[in-house]
Amino acid sequence: MAQLPTHMLMLLQKFWKSLEAPHVELNSTTVLMGMVFLQQTMKTWWKVRFINFV
């Protein structure tokens, strides 16, 4: 299991916190940012996994 960089984890935590916060409305920007972030994370993660695997 590859470890994500610390700043990625921090961003992810911030993102989840903003999702959990009841006063924050889930607008399209937040969702979009989350989607892009997850996509980037997955890309990086798969590269790392692949390199480790090979």
Which residues, at least 6 apart from 41, have a Cβ–Cβ distance to it below 8 Å?
4, 8, 12
Question: Could you tell me if residue 25 is inside a domain?
Answer: yes
How many angstroms separate the CA atoms of 44 and 49, rounded? 9
Number of domains in the chain: 1
Question: Could you tell me if residue 1 is inside a domain?
Answer: no
Question: Could you tell me if residue 10 is inside a domain?
Answer: yes
Residue 26, pLDDT score? 62
pLDDT band, very low/low/confident/very high, at 22 (cuts 50, 70, 90): low
The domain of 30 spans: 6-52
For the chain, counts of helices (H) and of strands (E): 2, 0
How many angstroms separate the CA atoms of 47 and 22, rounded? 35
Residue 25, pLDDT score? 61
pLDDT band, very low/low/confident/very high, at 4 (cuts 50, 70, 90): low
Question: Could you tell me if residue 36 is inside a domain?
Answer: yes
Residue 1, pLDDT score? 47
pLDDT band, very low/low/confident/very high, at 12 (cuts 50, 70, 90): confident
Mean pLDDT, the chain, rounded, equals 74
